[in-house]
Structure 1
Amino acid sequence: MAREFEGVFSRLFPGGEGRLVLTDPENMLTTGLDVEARPPGKRIKRLSLLSGGERSLVAVALLVSIFKARPSPFYIMDEVEAALDDANLGRLITLFEELRDSSQLIVITHQKRTMEVADALYGVTMRGDGVTTVVSQRLADVRVAPEPAEAS
C-alpha cells in the first residue's frame, strides 16, 4: 500500500512527495501508520500544517491507495472533493475515471464537474409538503448525439 500511496500522491500533488511510515515496524500487530506529506514547493511534513484542501487531498490519496491495494467491486465516497479547487478537482476526477474501469463508484457530491463524468445521477429533493423524493437520470439518455450531416 505504501507504494500505491506514493504513486497516487505524486499524481494528486505533481512535484510533491508523500510516504506512509510504520510507527513500530518491529511489532506488526500493534504498529501505527504515519502519513508524511510534502506538497510541491513546501517543506511541511505534518498534516496539521497543511491547508484544508491539502489535508483533504492527502486523505483522498490515502483512500485511493487503499482502493488500489485492496480492490473492491464498489466504493462509496461522501463529498470527498468539497474542499478542492478546480485544478485539484480535475486530478481527482481523473483518478475516479480510472477507478470506475474496475469498480462502481458511488459519489455523493455537490460539484458539477464531478456530476458531469457520472454515468447516472440520483438526487434527493424535498417537495413543498415536506416529503422527500428521489430523482434519477442516466446520463447516456440525455447526452446529445452528433448532428447528422446535411444532404446536398
Structure 2
Amino acid sequence: SLLSGGERSLTALAYLFAVFRSRPSPFYVMDEVEAALDDMNLSRFLGLVAEFRNDAQLVIVSHQKRTMEAADCLYGVSMQPGGSSRVVSEKVSS
C-alpha cells in the first residue's frame, strides 16, 4: 500500500465520523482506532471525540495515555491467578 498505517487510520476515521454525522447514534464503540496516529492527528481525533461526546456516549478501547486522559471514566481488565478476569473502573476527575 502507498499509505502509512497512520494515513490508513486517518482515512478510516474520516469515513467513520462522516457516517456518524450523517446517521447519528446514541453511542459508538471504537477499538484502538487511534493506535497508529501521530501526535497532531491524535489531537484532531480527540477534538472530534470531544464534539461527539456532547450528543452520544463513546466507548473507546485504547492504550494511548492521551486518549485515556480525555475520558470521563476508565475501565480496566486484569488477569487474576487461576485465569479469571477482574474489571476495575475509575471516574476521571476533570
Q: TM-score range by the shorter chain?
A: over 0.9
Deviation at 1:87, TM superposition (A): 1.1
Tell me how far 1:76 sits from its aligned partner. 0.2
SS in 1 for 2:34: coil
Higher relative contact order (CA 8 A, sep 6+): 2
How far the C-alpha of 1:128 sits from its partner, in A, is 2.7
State the partner residue of 1:75. 28
Tell me the equivalent position of 2:57.
Answer: 104
**Distance across 1 between alignment mates of 2:89 and 2:70:** 15
Structure 1's consecutive aligned runs of 4 or more residues displaced over 3 angstroms after TM superposition are none
Q: Could you tell me the TM-score, scaled by structure 2's length? A: 0.95
Answering whether residue 14 of structure 2 is matched by residue 58 of structure 1, we say no
**Which ranges of structure 2 fall in alignment gaps of 5 or more residues?**
none
Q: Percent identity?
A: 60
Q: Give the secondary-structure state (helix, strand or coil) at the position aligned to 2:83.
A: coil
1:112 Cα deviation after fit: 0.5
1:34-84 CA distance string (max 9 Å, x none): xxxxxxxxxxxxxx3211110111000000000011110000000000111
Asked whether 1:129 is paired with 2:75, we answer no
Give the Cα separation in 1 of the matches to 2:73 and 2:7: 29
CA distance in 2, matches of 1:129, 1:112: 29
2:46 to 82, 86, 93: 93
Give unmatched runs, 5+ long, in structure 1: 1-47, 144-152
1:102-139 Cα distance to aligned partner (Å, 9 max, x none): 10000000001000010000001102332110000111
* Alpha-carbon RMSD: 1.0
One-letter amino acid of the structure 1 residue matched with residue 81 of structure 2: G
TM-score by length of structure 1 reads 0.60
Aligned residues, how many?
94
For the residues of structure 2 that align with 1:118 and 1:75, how far apart are their CA atoms? 14
